Amino acid sequence: MIAGPRLSPTGACMSCGGPASPQDNFCESCGTELAPASVSNDEPAAAQACRVCPSAPVSGDGYCEVCGRKAPGSRDHQEVDLGLLAGVTDRGLRHYRNEDAMALATADTPSGPVALAVVCDGVSTSDCADEASLAAARAAIGVLLTAVRRGEDLPAASVAAVRSACEAVTSLDSPLGNAPSATFVSAVMSCAAVTVCWLGDSRAYWLASSPDSAAQRLTRDDSMAEELVLAGLLSEADALASPQAHIVTRWVGEGIDEVEPHVATFEPPGAGALLLCSDGLWNYQPEAGKLAELALPTALTDPPAAAAGLVNFALDAGGGDNVTVVLAPFPPTRSRLPRAPFPDGSGPIRCRGEAQQ
Amino acid sequence: MSQLDFTVDVYQNEYLLDGGKDVNAVISVTAPQAVSAPAVTPDGAEIIIVDCSGSMNAPQTKMAAARTATTTALNGLRDGISFAVIAGTDRAQPIYPPDGSMAVADPRTRVAAKRAAVVCLRPGGGTAIGQWLRLAHHIFASKPSALRHAILLTDGKNEHETPEQLEEAIKLCEGVFSCDCRGVGTDWNVEELRRISTALLGTVDIVPDPAGLSADFAAMMKAAMGKRVADVALRIWTPRQASIRFLRQVAPAVEDLTDRRAQSGAQVGDYATGAWGSGETRDYHLCLQVAPVSAGHEMLAARVSLALGSTSAQHLLGQGLVKATWTDDEALATRINPHVAHYTGQTELAELIHEGLEARKDGNEDTAKIKLGRAVALAQSSRHDDTAKLLARVVDVVDAATGTIRLKKKVAQSDEMTLDTRSTRTVRTRK
């Protein structure tokens, strides 16, 4: 299970039952954080059945007790739905673990609801890449959420969030001496603008739903491929096919103390959806317009379904890498509540707030 | 973690290339500290078996040294421990208590036993070690729940019974008591004593000069008194379709445990390791074959835990996981774990010494030179100073790094036997 909102749809604190409104970030009665951040893998779900021996018992640490195979675990596939935005992360088909991580949060401010998200992709040539991405996402979302609630400057908060992510990653042990590192992309979406901040090659896209505004990529990769393209040395297609394409040139982690993250503020011209994703998705479709075709219009009304759709698209295309997709419809409105889990408790992992509906 | 938990650390490169089947891991097991494990300290039962064959009289100091050593060992007995002393010849005789029972150690019984040792440990007769073991087995039968340990001293070969009779006696004693074996002088047989100490989960060593017996007995008794947890087995779960190619103890000495397996569940086998002292560490090399899976998958290749008590499944102390993860990344999969590499080298070192000495005995000097030369190089590169020193008494080292040596023309029998006896001792990896 993943930690989620602790405010019931009927407007009560899930912890003490006291009255609360969507504008409250904390319960007036018991002080419980009503809209805390949801971080992938924060609370590991019980392992599921073995894919090879479905009737065999699975040990407490997640292995099939007959064939020894790792049963699909919590981090292999996770879905988070916070209403304002939703995310799906998946191990993919070729990697033995999911080194992507995502952290989602919502806040209600005097000027309206705000959706926040961070996506990090552990650099797999570094040590404990899975822990690095998770630590980075978790640290950053906390900084961003606090800044939003306090009404602070968002570009400055985004840079502070990256710093905090860096500290979290560099404090990890690196048993093999390859300093842990991860890519980083964050977005804070209010009713007026989207503040995007990034390092590495995880991306943010604007997926426009109206014909008069074009879908576009909001980030520029810190990667060898992008540098080759910018230098006019290769076409984008050739660059992406080159062996160096996925070598990131900037990241959170050790060795980049002086590097400032990129920060951009984007004012959406109309309705649409914000997409954050790791390269596990855009490897198979880098074009903003094509991604918009895949995600819309579902993303506007049912972001978890649209996010799952994009992940499935990547898996169907080969699933060569971990894939993470976060979708937030614009403008953010509280009209959509997080979707209830399947009645029998099976299926996608949903956040705790819903499980008690 | 409970107070009784053993610590189990696994060192391995878990990554296998697509289609890879061989999984190697070094498993380092450490017993809990005594202070935290008072409840498992069992009653102790100790038997000292002293060779009293006629040859113990040549030189005369040998028998005298054995008597003194026995006295020293008796002094090391903790109050409350059950004990007995056996004189071994072509038969076996209980000398204390003389009725073949066990005494309980206290100031009075220790003095009585020392007097009996001085009076009754007299040379005369042959050597039938199987008989000695059988009597120890009989005496231990009155202490079925105690931590049972024996010290066995001989100066000669097992000449007054057949090898089969000895083997039968060893089989009888397996799992009943553990036994540390010592050979004094150079007229005994290394293989014979090693066979006993291996089967009875003890150590074997040479005491070339009888003057060293007393210190050696004191050390053995101290180690025996320090044992805290009895009847510990390594319990290994493996997936269906997996097979264990070998399980070796690799520190403090090389010992093959593969054939010691006792099936204790559908996919579970137990390997007896005897009694453990407080805080004691032993390392194991586990090599197994698993059914390969495609890249991107992870498998638990073995779950290693410690089972306490000979049959009980209820006391599992600590565990470690050996994993297999398949990948396309050749660089990742071809890395050799330094612990696995180190102990593979230490095992090879022991084998080279054994084979080299055999070849030398058989007059096959070329083979001996090659094997012992490689042993010299390995001892140097793994910084095994003790073995390097022992080797240097048997061969002239021209260049240790390349393993260039000459066989010594004259080698003291005790030097050769010391090298043979201690060849299986290993050094630990340095971090």
How far apart CA B279 and CA B226 sit, in angstroms, is 10
Residue A61 touches chain B, beta carbons under 8 Å = yes
Return the amino acid letter for A148. V
Give the C-alpha separation, B72 to B219, whole Å: 10
Question: Do A70 and B326 count as a contact with CB atoms less than 8 A apart?
Answer: no
Residue A95 sits at the chain B interface (C-beta within 8 Å):
yes
How far, in Å, CA of B372 to CA of B359, rounded? 10
pLDDT at A5: 61
For A96, which of B241, B290, B325 is closest by C-beta distance? B325
Report DSSP state, residue A270: S
- B336 CB neighbours in chain A (<8 A) are none
Inter-chain touch A93–B327, beta carbons under 8 Å: no
Say whether the ipTM exceeds 0.95: no
Q: In this structure, is the dihedral angle defined by the CA atoms of residues B106, B108, B114 and B116, taken in order, positive or negative?
A: negative
Residue in chain B lying closest to A52 (CA): B293
Question: DSSP characters for B219-245?
Answer: HHHHHHHTEEEEEEEEEEE--TT-EEE
Answer whether CATH 2.60.40.3670 is correct for domain B7-37+230-334: yes
B290 interaction partners in chain A (CB closer than 8 Å): 68
Which CATH number does the domain B338-422 belong to among 1.20.120.1690, 3.40.50.880, 1.20.1050.10, 3.30.70.20?
1.20.120.1690
Could you tell me how many CB contacts below 8 A there are between chain A and chain B?
A: 51
Task: For chain A, positions 325-344, list CB contacts with chain B under 8 A.
Answer: none
Paired residues of B253 in beta bridges: B425
**Residues in B lying within 8 Å of A, measured between beta carbons:** 237-242, 267, 290-291, 293, 295-301, 303, 321, 325-328
d(CA B429, CA B383): 10
First to last CA, chain A: 15
Q: Is A56 on the interface with B (CB under 8 A)?
A: no
CB B378 within 8 A of CB B426: no
Disruptive mutation site among A58, A70, A123, A178 for chain B (greatest number of B CBs within 10 Å): A70
At a CB cut-off of 8 Å and minimum separation 6, what does B146 contact?
Answer: B42, B43, B44, B45, B82, B140
Task: Return d(Cα A74, Cα A353) in angstroms, integer.
Answer: 18
Q: Which of B238, B299, B328 sits opposite A69 (nearest CB)?
A: B299
- Asked if A70 lies within 8 A of B328 by C-beta distance, the reply is no
Q: Which residue has the tokens 């003790």?
A: B386
Query: Residue A97: closest CA among chain B residues belongs to which residue?
Result: B296
Q: Where exactly are the structural domains of chain A?
A: 75-355
Neighboring chain A residues of B299 at a CB cutoff of 8 Å? 63, 67-70
Both structure tokens of B2? 């409970």
**Beta-carbon separation of B242 and A61 below 8 A:** no
> Is A70–B240 a contact, with Cβ atoms under 8 angstroms apart?
no
pLDDT digits (tens, 9 = 90+) for A110-154: 889 999 999 999 987 666 888 899 999 999 999 999 999 999 999
Please state which CATH class domain A75-355 belongs to.
alpha beta
The Cα A340–Cα A150 span in angstroms is 31
Element (H, E) at A114: strand A112-121
Q: What's the CA gap between B190 and B173, in Å, rounded? A: 20
Tokens at residue A273, please?
Answer: 């959806």
CATH 1.20.120.1690 domain span(s) along chain B: 338-422
Among B240, B297, B303, select the one facing A96 at the smallest CB separation: B297
8 A C-beta contact, residue B269 and residue B303: no
What the block records as the tokens of A248 is: 């990131």
Q: Decide if B173 contacts B200 (C-beta within 8 A).
A: yes
Contact list in A for residue B240 (CB cut-off 8 A) is 66-68
Whole-angstrom distance, CA of residue B234 vs CA of residue B184: 33
Interchain CB distance below 8 Å, B297 and A70? yes
For residue B317, the SS3 value is: strand
Helices (H), A193-348: 224-230, 236-241, 279-282, 288-295, 298-301, 303-316
B301–A68: do the CB atoms touch at under 8 Å?
Answer: yes
- 3-state DSSP assignment of residue A273: strand
* Mode of pairing for the β-strands spanning B92-96 and B82-88: antiparallel
- Answer whether the bond into residue A341 is a cis peptide, omega within 30°: no
The structure tokens listed for A35 are 């809209």
**Closest of B144, B149, B147, B151 to residue B117, by C-alpha:** B151
Q: What is the pLDDT along chain B (431 residues), one digit of tens a residue?
A: 445 678 899 999 999 998 899 999 999 999 988 654 444 456 899 999 999 999 999 888 999 999 999 999 999 999 999 999 999 999 999 999 999 999 999 999 999 999 999 899 999 999 999 999 999 999 999 998 889 999 999 999 999 999 999 999 999 999 899 999 999 999 999 999 999 999 999 999 999 999 999 999 999 999 999 888 888 999 999 999 899 999 999 999 999 999 999 998 889 999 999 989 888 999 999 999 999 887 778 899 999 999 886 544 446 678 899 999 888 888 889 999 999 999 999 999 999 999 999 999 999 999 999 999 999 999 999 999 999 999 999 999 999 999 999 999 999 999 999 999 999 999 997 65
C-alpha–C-alpha distance, residues B263 and B103, integer Å = 37
CB under 8 Å to A343, separation ≥6 — which residues? none
Chain B contacts of A96, Cβ < 8 Å?
A: 295-298, 325-327
Distance from CA of B380 to the nearest CA of A (A): 26
* CATH code for residues B40-225: 3.40.50.410
